[in-house]
Amino acid sequence: MTHRPQMQGARQSFAAIAIAFALLVVAAPARADSCSVSATTLAFGAYDTINALSGTATITVTCTHTNNPAVRFDYVVALSSGPGSFASRQMTGTGDTLTYNLYTTAAMTTVFGDGSAGTATLAGSFVVGGGAGRSGSDGQTVYGRVGAVQNVLPGAYATASPITVTITY
C-alpha cells in the first residue's frame, strides 16, 4: 500500500467522471408493446480530496404500445456494478483509483444495483393513453457520491467500462 504525504489545503482532482450508462433492454415475452431506456451522464465535477462530492443523473424509461386501449407499464430498473464492485465502484485516471457509489435515494443509504449483494433496484409505472403507437415515459434519479478523504493525484477520472442499465417490464 502506497501512502502519499498530505498536502497543505485541498488538491483538486477533476472527477469529470463520465459514468456512462450502457443501455440494455430486457423485454417481457409475448407482448407487442416495447420499452427503451436512456440515461444522462453523471459528472461529479472537481473533487478536492477532503470532502465528499455528490451528483445526480436521470434514467428515463420510454414505452410505446400498439393497441387502442390505454396501457399501464410497470417496470424495474437495475444497474450492473461496473468497474469495482457494488460495495465500491471505481474510476481510474492519472495512475490512481477513485472510489464512488450510486444510490437509490438522496439520503445515499441504499446502493443502486441489481437486487443482489445488499443492493436495491428502482421500480415505477406509468400509463400510456389509448391509440396505437402512443408512447410515454418516466424518469428515475440516480444519486452518486465520491467518498471523502481519497488522496489521489489531480486529473480526470472516469469509469473504465460503462454501467449497464437493465429494465424489465
pLDDT digit string (tens) for 24-58? 444 443 346 899 999 999 999 999 889 999 999 99
Asked whether residue 133 is assigned to any structural domain, the reply reads: yes
Mean pLDDT (the chain) is 83
Asked whether residue 8 is assigned to any structural domain, the reply reads: no
**How many Å apart are CA 17 and CA 150, to the nearest integer?**
15
Domain count, the chain: 1
Asked whether residue 4 is assigned to any structural domain, the reply reads: no
Asked whether residue 9 is assigned to any structural domain, the reply reads: no
Nearest to 98 by CA among 147, 54, 55, 164: 147
Q: Which three cell numbers stand for residue 95?
A: 495512475
CATH number (domain holding residue 93): 2.60.40
pTM summary value: 0.81
Asked whether residue 13 is assigned to any structural domain, the reply reads: no
CA-to-CA dists, residue 80 to 6, 106, 107, 167, angstroms: 34, 20, 21, 12
Asked whether residue 78 is assigned to any structural domain, the reply reads: yes
**How many Å apart are CA 54 and CA 139, to the nearest integer?**
19
Domain that holds residue 146: 19-168
Predicted local distance difference test score (pLDDT) of residue 22: 52
Q: Which three cell numbers stand for residue 148?
A: 471523502
Asked whether residue 3 is assigned to any structural domain, the reply reads: no
Predicted local distance difference test score (pLDDT) of residue 28: 40
Asked whether residue 86 is assigned to any structural domain, the reply reads: yes
**How many Å apart are CA 115 and CA 75, to the nearest integer?**
14
The three-class DSSP label of residue 60 is strand
Cβ neighbours, 10 Å, residue 142: 23
Task: Give the phi and the psi of residue 127 in degrees, each rounded to 5.
Answer: -110, 135
| Banded pLDDT at 20 (limits 50, 70, 90) | low
